[in-house]
Amino acid sequence: MELPPWLSSLSVPVLSAAVGGVIALLFMANYLRRKRAEVVTISHLSTPPDPKPSALPSKHAPPKKGSQRSHLHHHTDKDANKKHHALDLNTLKGHTDSVTALCFSSDGHNLATVCADGAIRLFRIDDTSSKSFKSLRINLHAGVHPTGIVFSDGASSVVVAGQALAGSSLYSYGDVSGKPVKGKPSLPEIQWEHQKIHGMESVLNLSSAVASYGSADGSTIIASCSEASEIKVWDGKTGKLLGAVETNQLKNNMATISPNGRFLAAAAFTADVKVWEIVYSKDGSVKEVIKVMQLKGHKSAVTSLCFMPNSEQILTASKDGTIRMWNINVRYHLDEDPKTLKVFTIPLHDAKGVTCHYDHMSISPNGKVLAVTSGSTLQWLCPETGSVLDTAEKAHEGDITGIVWAPQSISNGGVASSILATSGNDRKVKLWLAPSVNAS
């Protein structure tokens, strides 16, 4: 039978379309079958095992390795948290941010701290083994980040360095003893303050001493060390500026005053340490601050320093991997140079065996134990031999921000003891017992 002309003209396209459709359907069906197989396979792999075996009594059920490992790991963490260094006595809590500085009062029973949360806290420490300590909180002005603190009049007032957008400032708070007045706690008030003491530069640290050398009148003097090259000396009680010096170096690292108030020493990012003398008039007031000597011998930047209790020697730590003890009790006016008494190799190394550098140094009141820090590690050394008395790795859960010895013995469970306090960016302040010197 012959097809009509119009139908025969459509037969080829129609047949082609039909065949194409059939082929497309076959491909689609095959694709769907493969996807279904994949989904079933994935579902099968992710399906948990048949729970029926777990219905057996627990004494017959084999332990799950994963759960056992997790359980053991959990207990290991708990045990690690429970472990304390033998010299770790107590922790002062309550800070809500990094603790930036700390200091003891002259009697050793009051510990003041400043924190990045903008608060000053004063803790009363009568026995380091106490479960809790009485404390007083003072809030700084809004927007002020505290960077340093010292006691300025026994235990009755503190001076705080703070950094704000407008620059660095000093604030003196009086009556911080917290003693009740007419049945109510006294409210510390600002006795004096100075704004922009180092321009826009922040204060790296504050140092203080009771002036007892020569004709000094026993007043408290304070040094503020800027992050640039300037250091200023202040009267702790009145806030009067007593003198200012320039290190003439790129940046300061820290500065400190000798215990008797005679010398001021500064470490910068250079190998040399510069020393000034605070000269007193016959009436006991500060007359001037003059440069008297320079400690030369290190081969790299000095990272930290401290005076020995007698104010006649200085200990310095450098990135060259050494600690040096210097004799500065010389007749500098007759051109006598300070002498290096001892040189020790820093005994602390990192995981790769590289010598660490010390961030902070503090000598015990009896001069027998040198406390040093590097990152989160706290170490105690013998200043006479350089030997390690003890080491506390990860003394804080983060970098240690400050260390200070109590100037007087404090009771530890009824026993008068030499106590070190440390602060960290882990929001904690810790109290440590001095190691036995015989341990070396």
Instruction: For the chain, give the longest Cα–Cα distance.
Output: 141
Cα–Cα nearest to 261, from 213, 224, 214: 213
Digits of tens for pLDDT over the chain (440 positions)?
Answer: 455 554 455 455 555 555 566 555 555 555 545 444 333 333 333 333 433 333 334 433 444 444 443 343 333 344 344 458 999 999 998 999 999 999 999 999 999 999 999 999 999 999 999 999 999 999 999 999 999 999 997 778 999 999 999 899 999 999 887 565 555 556 788 999 999 999 999 999 999 999 999 999 999 999 999 999 999 999 999 999 999 999 988 899 999 999 999 999 999 889 999 999 999 999 999 999 999 999 999 999 999 999 999 999 999 999 999 999 999 999 988 889 999 999 999 999 999 999 999 999 999 999 999 999 999 999 999 999 999 999 999 999 999 999 999 999 999 999 999 999 999 999 999 999 999 987 44
Nearest-angstrom CA–CA distance, 430 and 95: 12
CB 361 within 8 A of CB 370: yes
CB 215 within 8 A of CB 284: yes
Q: pTM of whole model > 0.85? A: no
Nearest-angstrom CA–CA distance, 338 and 98: 38
Q: Which two tokens stand for residue 346?
A: 């820093």
| 174: Cβ contacts below 8 Å, ≥ 6 apart | 153, 156, 157, 188, 189, 190, 191
Total H helices, total E strands in the chain = 2, 33
- Displacement of CA 416 from its chain's centroid (Å): 27
| 128: Cβ contacts below 8 Å, ≥ 6 apart | 89, 90, 410, 411, 412, 413, 417, 419, 431, 433
Element (H, E) at 96: none
